[in-house]
């Protein structure tokens, strides 16, 4: 088969309407790809093992030799090296390539610029060298790159959303079975507005993995005590409550959040399907409350913005989005109220934290694709 010479790929970030921190807990999530992408241009360079990757905005070029994959020296390097390494575990057909990329996905904002990079690169290399990998393999390559090279034991949501996204649809993903459903998402006259705190408290990777361990600890005990198979899908809030004494306090809180959030997503999807956006929004607020108080992955900046939105009748729901400790809030807001709210929030946020707030609107968009 003849190899293509140069290809261009667009790979989006993601939003998540509801279902946070439960993708690695056998829960449900409701993400979508967004209209902000990372763009990659890839060509084979005729070499067996050597590749170069250049990222706009960074001076240095990353040079990788397949035979000696070390750790990278800059933040984004390990995503690239991780993807190459994971592809090599699956196929010997990868050859030398040159890649130039430019990202329009805000970094450190909770919209998963990292999944955009992992999935875009995996997708592009699959096309360029006819590797024959299917979409789920590309998704897993991205996730494993993050586990094995970056060190975040992330769930599957971000890579799934980046690859499988579809214009005008959110996706209900069952993270246990990996079955999913596209849900037409028409929220007129409302919009999805992201407010970026522009803080990224450096806790994220470490604390993320700690949350995972705490949930694992709780689940182990709950499953034994209630004699069910080890999955949060078999655990009810009543079970968690009846084991309160045996669970460490933080573990109790984490597990209560998880089982409630799993239920909440299904309720939210039912509302979305009936276009009952007010009820949907109320659940977004509940999620935020849980993430802030029980799961403890929010921060004062995110809490401040969500609280501010509560006083605004034109906002049906708001919450922190993604891993937390900074990044964006997602707001379900009436289109006519956007400008005023941005002004009000920017002013209040600046007064309180002396940080400039940034913002953008987005819509559910197509997943990683060739351009
Ligand atoms: C990060 C992870 C995801 C998910 C979210 C929280 O974005 O990469 O797998 O766990 O946090 O919902």
Average model confidence (pLDDT) across the chain? 95
- Specify the DSSP element, H or E, that contains 291: none
CATH code at 42? 3.30.230.10
pLDDT above 90 coverage of the chain, percent:
90
pLDDT score for 2: 56
Dist. CA 324 → ligand 1 center (Å): 9
Q: Is 158 in the pocket of ligand 1 (CB under 6 A)?
A: yes
Q: How far apart are CA 147 and CA 143, in angstroms?
A: 6
Confidence band of 144 (pLDDT split at 50, 70, 90): very high
164 plus 200 within the same structural domain: no
290 plus 355 within the same structural domain: yes
List, for residues 11-40, the tens digit of each pLDDT value.
999 999 999 999 999 999 999 999 999 999
pLDDT at 204 over 80: no
Q: Is 31 in the pocket of ligand 1 (CB under 6 A)?
A: no
Q: How far apart are CA 165 and CA 367, in angstroms?
A: 4
Q: Domain for residue 367, yes or no?
A: no
Q: Is 154 in the pocket of ligand 1 (CB under 6 A)?
A: yes
Residues 126-148: what's their mean pLDDT? 97
Q: Which residues contact 123 (CB under 8 A, 6 or more apart)?
A: 9, 11, 138, 163, 368
pLDDT score for 332: 98
110 plus 253 within the same structural domain: no
CATH code at 248? 3.30.70.890
Q: Is 20 in the pocket of ligand 1 (CB under 6 A)?
A: yes
Q: Is 325 in the pocket of ligand 1 (CB under 6 A)?
A: no
* N residues, the chain: 371
Mutate to test the pocket of ligand 1, among 158, 162, 212, 295 (most ligand atoms within 8 A of CB): 158
268 plus 299 within the same structural domain: yes
275 plus 339 within the same structural domain: yes
Q: How far apart are CA 157 and CA 102, in angstroms?
A: 23
Pick the catalytic residue: 158, 174, 336, 356? 158
Domain finish residue from 185, 212, 246: 185
Dist. CA 155 → ligand 1 center (Å): 6
222 plus 122 within the same structural domain: no
List, for residues 256-281, the tens digit of each pLDDT value.
999 999 999 999 999 999 999 999 99
Query: Which residue puts its alpha carbon closest to atom 2 of ligand 1?
Result: 154
Q: Is 25 in the pocket of ligand 1 (CB under 6 A)?
A: no
174 plus 265 within the same structural domain: no
Tally of CB atoms within 10 A around 248: 12
Confidence band of 4 (pLDDT split at 50, 70, 90): low
Q: Which atom of ligand 1 lies at the shortest distance from residue 21's CA?
A: 12
Instruction: Please report where in the chains the tokens 């769930």 appear, as a residue.
Output: 155
118 plus 158 within the same structural domain: yes
Distances from the Cα of 108 to the Cα of 115, 136, 274, angstroms: 12, 25, 34
- Per the structure, the complete domain to which residue 22 belongs is given by 6-185
Output phi, psi for 351, to 5 deg: -60, -45
Q: Is 370 helix (H, G, I), strand (E, B) or coil?
A: strand
Q: Which atom of ligand 1 lies at the shortest distance from residue 152's CA?
A: 8
Dist. CA 200 → ligand 1 center (Å): 15
Domain finish residue from 185, 211, 239: 185
Q: How far apart are CA 136 and CA 118, in angstroms?
A: 13
List, for residues 217-244, the tens digit of each pLDDT value.
999 999 999 999 999 999 999 999 999 9
Task: Clarify whether 303 is annotated catalytic.
Answer: no
This prediction's pTM: 0.96
- Number of domains present in the structure of the chain: 2
Confidence band of 287 (pLDDT split at 50, 70, 90): very high
Q: Which atom of ligand 1 lies at the shortest distance from residue 297's CA?
A: 6
Angle at 276 between CA 275 and CA 279, to 5 degrees: 150
Q: How far apart are CA 3 and CA 223, in angstroms?
A: 51
Which has the closest alpha carbon to 356: 201, 196, 202?
A: 196
Q: Is 154 helix (H, G, I), strand (E, B) or coil?
A: coil
Q: Domain for residue 369, yes or no?
A: no
Alpha helices in 200-248 (DSSP H): 204-226, 237-242
Confidence band of 3 (pLDDT split at 50, 70, 90): low
200 plus 344 within the same structural domain: yes
Q: How far apart are CA 253 and CA 276, in angstroms?
A: 29
List, for residues 49-104, the tens digit of each pLDDT value.
999 999 997 777 999 998 888 887 777 899 999 999 999 999 999 999 999 999 99
pLDDT score for 104: 95
343 plus 218 within the same structural domain: yes
pLDDT score for 202: 67
311 plus 202 within the same structural domain: yes
pLDDT score for 1: 53
Q: Is 23 in the pocket of ligand 1 (CB under 6 A)?
A: yes
Domain finish residue from 185, 208, 240: 185
- Specify the DSSP element, H or E, that contains 362: strand 358-362
354 plus 316 within the same structural domain: yes
Dist. CA 335 → ligand 1 center (Å): 28
């Amino acid at each position: 088969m003849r190899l293509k010479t140069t290809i261009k790929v667009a790979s989006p970030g993601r939003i998540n309407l509801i279902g946070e921190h439960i993708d690695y807990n056998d829960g449900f999530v409701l993400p979508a790809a967004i209209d902000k992408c990372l763009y990659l241009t890839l060509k084979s360079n005729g070499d067996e093992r050597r590749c170069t990757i250049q990222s706009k905005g960074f001076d240095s070029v990353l040079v990788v030799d397949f035979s000696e994959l070390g750790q990278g020296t800059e933040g984004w390097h390990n995503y690239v090296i991780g993807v190459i390494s994971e592809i090599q575990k699956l196929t010997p057909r990868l050859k030398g390539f040159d890649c130039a990329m430019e990202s329009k996905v805000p970094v450190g904002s909770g919209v998963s610029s990292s999944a955009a990079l992992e999935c875009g690169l995996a997708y592009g290399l699959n096309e360029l060298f006819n590797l024959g990998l299917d979409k789920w393999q590309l998704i897993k390559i991205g996730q494993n790159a993050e586990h094995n090279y970056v060190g975040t034991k992330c769930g599957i949501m971000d890579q799934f959303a980046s690859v499988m996204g579809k214009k005008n649809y959110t996706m209900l993903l069952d993270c246990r079975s990996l079955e999913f459903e596209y849900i037409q998402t028409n929220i007129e006259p409302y919009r999805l507005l992201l407010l970026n705190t522009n803080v990224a408290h450096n806790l994220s990777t470490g604390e993320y993995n700690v949350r995972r361990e705490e949930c694992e600890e709780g689940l182990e005990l709950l499953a034994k005590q209630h004699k069910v198979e080890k999955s949060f899908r078999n655990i009810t809030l009543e079970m968690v409550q009846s084991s309160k004494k045996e669970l460490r306090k933080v573990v109790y809180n984490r597990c209560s959040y998880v089982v409630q959030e799993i239920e909440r997503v299904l309720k939210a999807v039912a509302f979305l399907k009936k276009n009952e956006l007010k009820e949907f929004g109320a659940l977004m607020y509940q999620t935020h409350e849980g993430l802030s108080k029980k799961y403890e992955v929010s921060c004062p900046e995110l809490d401040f913005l969500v609280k501010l939105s509560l006083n605004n009748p034109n906002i049906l729901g708001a919450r922190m989005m993604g891993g937390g400790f900074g990044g964006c809030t997602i707001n379900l807001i009436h289109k006519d109220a956007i400008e005023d709210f941005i002004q009000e929030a920017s002013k209040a946020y600046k007064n309180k934290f002396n940080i400039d707030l940034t913002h953008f609107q987005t819509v559910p968009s197509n997943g990683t694709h060739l351009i």
